[in-house]
Amino acid sequence: MLTFKGLVVRETKKGESSKLITVLSSEHGVIDIFVRGGVKSSKSISSTQLFSYSNFCVDVKKDAHGYSNYYLNSCEPINLFYNVRLDAKKTALACYFTELLCFSRIENSYCDEILKLTLNTLYFLDKGNHDNELLKSIFEFRLLCEMGFRPNLVGCNKCYEVEPEIMHYNYKSGLLECDNCCYNPESIFDIRLDKALLYIVRYIALTDYNKLFSFKINEKYQQKLTEFTERFVKYNFKEYFDTLDFYRIL
Ligand SMILES: [Zn+2]
């Protein structure tokens, strides 16, 4: 039997009354847990629904191939992020976050930082003091940084200049080059970052979680940041997310 705290990132109905939930936890990454009678049981219904952060107690059974299968024994809710569920736009954004997590295939790996990032993002989305677009950008870029896609943001790859007026980031090479050194600024993989945008990008990639959400930006920079982080996800995941479209049309 295992006990751990985890966040439900997907719910799938299984048969008449059971369901499979996908849970993100520090210790096990993203794993599937089978919930017998989970659709009807009032005991576990709130703590096993999408976006619930709960204490889980699960039984582990190995199959013939040695794979572990998890079965829910009991669970208690810790935070249900109730306000996220009441607002269609916030729900759509949270669905996009959970789709990114399911896609990231972080099964059975240690995910302390990713869980921390996700819980913090949902906490601020639930509280409502932050701009949804900023939370989205922070989550998109930092998630990929924590997954090992963090680019080297120290300075120009050729002349080592740290803060030029304009820096170019190339999605394909993952490198920064200043305007003087940039070999192919017309490349489809190129994006221009001015000093302020570069500062914001570095901040999201590297700042501690206790300060990560403590900044605001104006609409002009939010648009630039949104372009930077959406292209970063698109290039590295090479996948199209329907939940992002749905969030956009609301
Ligand atoms: Zn340079």
Tell me the per-residue pLDDT of 172-227, one tens digit each, with 9 for 90 and over: 999 999 999 999 999 999 999 999 999 999 999 999 999 999 999 999 999 999 99
| Domain 99-249 class, CATH top level | mainly alpha
Q: How far does the centroid of ligand 1 lie from the alpha carbon of residue 167, in Å?
A: 8
Q: Give the pLDDT of residue 38.
A: 72
Q: How far does the centroid of ligand 1 lie from the alpha carbon of residue 180, in Å?
A: 6
| Cα–Cα distances in angstroms (integers) from residue 94 to residues 12, 154, 176, 214, in the given order | 17, 31, 31, 20
Q: CB–CB of 160/167 below 8 Å?
A: no
Q: Give the pLDDT of residue 112.
A: 94
Q: Give the pLDDT of residue 229.
A: 98
Residue owning tokens 């049309």: 249
DSSP structure class, residue 148: I
pLDDT-flagged residues of the chain (< 50): none
DSSP structure class, residue 107: B
Q: How far does the centroid of ligand 1 lie from the alpha carbon of residue 231, in Å?
A: 23
Question: Burial letters for 87-104: b for 16+ Cβ neighbours within 10 Å, e otherwise?
Answer: beebbbbbbbbbbbbeeb
Architecture of domain 2-80: Beta Barrel (2.40)
pTM exceeds 0.85 for this model: yes
How far apart are the C-alpha atoms of 97 and 244, rounded to whole Å?
9
Tokens of residue 83, six digits: 């306000």
Give domain limits for the chain: 2-80, 99-249
